[in-house]
Structure 1
């Protein structure tokens, strides 16, 4: 079993939700069967949008500390911060690319056009990752993107109430109306508000995908997606 190192805190609630998925997805009959995790829960990582250079430097330092603490696989439950994957990989530890893995999982469903609920930085990463899978990305309008960011910052402030949930459903519906045949929750705050039953097309949750890949990598086993186990 490999030790998982988590670059967390972006944001804290999303990181805790990710760890809960790692625990739930691990085939275990006792404590000792679960993945060992070392984590740096650092909500003070500089803003990934307005201070990218500082964010990259801090993320690289976090990765190096996790390596020194015994991490053998690294993961980061924040899509936008994957713009700094190079700084993290510089620590010399295998880093699971959340964006690439999520794009691959979403494309496996056969959709030709996939909508992405993500920050502007996350959208740019997903556009590239989906293009590599031969899939066209459907983007939010400028007005809806501004609304999405407002909802995300509301979640970071602790608001996961019914109005926030309704707003996220409406944003997903807007992508479907624009031609999306699938939706990616490309921000780790999205699954705190949106479930598969809330949308009329397949929903790929980046947090779920990352957790599943982490468990498989650390246990060195194949872990089938939910619904393919029967």
Structure 2
């Protein structure tokens, strides 16, 4: 097998979601031996300040992680967290490396479903990013009302704390159902914790998992099947 690019992953936000992302990379790599897999350098750093807290200074920490991944040999980056993409420009400037963008990947996949309105289950920061990217696809964004959004955030933190049972799945499904009732024609799992508890069988419309699609793209880029994204241009 020809030499592949080395992937650098900024992770730990949260750790379980990062491990799920890495498992997907392994699963989607066509390999007959250890040597056929791509090399992955990952910083699972749960000490990154909460991306949902204004002024948390997550950006500089993520930028430092990205620079270290380049120093370790990474050729291209991925971020295993939707909300952290708010710092994508800073991460690319600090590392000088191209980034395979999870938000862009999810928005493009939503458009390819044929939907005109996408419901997003994500943090407020992720919703802002998806609003912009979906608008570029001429799509509308459907979000939870403020009360349900707060309840959704509380559920996310419970998942981060280790809850994975049927009750959690039912609650997440209820949020997805609410978005469909409000006109969403597809649902984007806009937080990497969402797919840990909810799958396609739990939604009435197509479920887009940006983390899964990002894993596929990372494999494709590193194996040379897809063009490497352009590096950050000042």
Normalised-by-shorter TM-score class: over 0.9
User: CA offset at residue 87 of structure 1?
Assistant: 1.2
Instruction: Quote the residue 1:226 is aligned against.
Output: none
CA deviation vs aligned residue, 1:93-115 (integer Å, no higher than 9, x gap): 11111001110011111100110
Structure 1 partner of 2:77: 74
Counterparts of 1:165 and 1:183 in 2: how far apart (Å)? 15
2: CA distance, partners of 1:51 / 1:29: 46
- Find the aligned partners of 2:38 and 2:170 in 1 and give their Cα distance: 35
Contact 1:21 1:208 in 2 (8 A): yes
Contact 1:118–1:185 (CA under 8 A) maintained in structure 2: yes
Q: Is structure 2 residue 18 aligned with structure 1 residue 15?
A: yes
**Aligned ranges 1:42-191 → 2 under 5 Å:** 42-52=45-55, 54-90=57-93, 91-191=95-195
Matched length = 222
- What TM-score results when the alignment is normalised by the length of structure 1? 0.95
After superposition, the CA RMSD in angstroms is 0.9
Q: How far apart are 1:136 and its partner, in Å?
A: 0.3
State the 1:174 CA deviation: 0.3
Shift of 1:52: 4.2
CA distance in 1, matches of 2:221, 2:173: 32
1:185-213: per-residue Cα shift (whole Å, max 9, x none)? 00000000110111110000011011011
- The two structures have a TM-score, normalised by structure 2, of 0.93
For 1:123 and 1:52, the matched residues in 2 are separated by: 18
Change over 3 Å in CA distance of 1:86–1:104 after alignment to 2: same
Contact 1:46 1:52 in 2 (8 A): no
Q: Which moved more, 1:44-53 or 1:139-148?
A: 44-53
Q: Displacement, 1:50?
A: 1.6
Instruction: Tell me the CA shift for residue 59 of structure 1.
Output: 0.4
Q: Structure 1: where are the runs of 5+ without partners?
A: 223-230
- Asked if 2 retains the 8 angstrom alpha-carbon contact of 1:48 and 1:80, the reply is yes
Q: Which runs of 5+ in 2 are unaligned?
A: 227-234
Cα drift, residue 53 of structure 1 = 5.6
**1:40 Cα deviation after fit:** 0.7
Q: 1:107-139, CA deviations, whole angstroms, 9 ceiling, x for partnerless residues?
A: 111100110000010000000010011110101
